[in-house]
Structure 1
């Protein structure tokens, strides 16, 4: 089953975990530590956590600094009927890493304060696209595909290693939540932690080369 199909079939918890996992793997771009999203992960374990999602989200935004809102390209009410793709790169100026940081900021900006199925579906889909684009921008090897949309639909020929690994992790997280419900959260977090370490190493190598 393709990533697009898995997102289409996921429930509210699976969608929230999918979007959160994408953001978690990209936290190194925002200067966050490895624990900054743990309160949001913990809130996915039971239904009561949905009521506290918005408050915990604002705490995370405060720790990461900056202003997060519609001006950053977040998902607003007008996006509810569309794809919610907030991953456009704007002018396209600046380095690949600059663009990757902007995409990561938009992932956090776009997180819905209300954890409803409709809102998190838009967010999870947009985070999926943004995370794949981030990994494509930072991969030292060129991805031969025309777009990440093709990758999400199952056309995987000529994928670069970093993009292939991110696609695999996104699929795995959704499969874990679909197959195991709340019990899938811990292994999903482990998958995301592995990906975060990989991206942190990539960002560190790029920084050393610039130095």
Structure 2
């Protein structure tokens, strides 16, 4: 198995098209959403549908609805929730490679930081798993609409892992 590095991740972000960038940022947000709003796990489903269609109008509408649904979610004193809120607030309203590329990069960094909070070291298993998932999402999304299903599956899996770690930590605290 090859080692995933942030350089590799950045190269994948640099090469991605608008759909891949939107999927990458959305997948990071989706995986981390349990830190902001654990009870609203389906809030981003319409945004995923807009990514699948590659439709800028649907993207703008779905993002707006998700923001309304998630308005006020999260604890402003919780550092992880603040990171996720930043990902949500940073979603570009327009479907264009430039803003999507910036957002995808910011989401990648925020998701890694959120995962690192639950690891003893930056090289811990949760952080490393998140880095691998980010790379896998970008690679899957490079295959166009057919790869989005895999990207979504990776996002769901990562959300479950993070939810389990947070739950376990809360029980032992």
Normalising by structure 2, report the TM-score. 0.89
Matched residue, 1:121: 101
Map of 1:1-211 to 2, 5 A cutoff?
2-32=8-38, 33-47=40-54, 49-66=55-72, 98-139=78-119, 141-143=120-122, 159-178=123-142, 180-210=143-173
Q: List alignment gaps of at least 5 residues for structure 1.
A: 73-93, 144-158
Q: RMSD between aligned alpha carbons?
A: 1.7
Cα-to-partner distance string for 1:10-43 (whole Å, 9 max, x where unaligned) = 0000000000000000010111422111000011
**Structure 1 CA distance for aligned equivalents of residues 114 and 15 of structure 2:** 25
Radius of gyration: which is bigger? 1
Normalising by structure 1, report the TM-score. 0.74
Cα-to-partner distance string for 1:158-198 (whole Å, 9 max, x where unaligned) = x21001100000000001111x1110000110011000000
**Structure 2 CA distance for aligned equivalents of residues 207 and 114 of structure 1:** 38
**Structure 1 CA distance for aligned equivalents of residues 114 and 105 of structure 2:** 14
Moved over 3 A (4+): none
Structure (1/2) with the larger helix percentage? 2
Q: How many residues align?
A: 164
Q: List alignment gaps of at least 5 residues for structure 2.
A: 1-6
**Structure 1 CA distance for aligned equivalents of residues 136 and 121 of structure 2:** 24
**Structure 2 CA distance for aligned equivalents of residues 205 and 160 of structure 1:** 16
Matched residue, 1:147: none
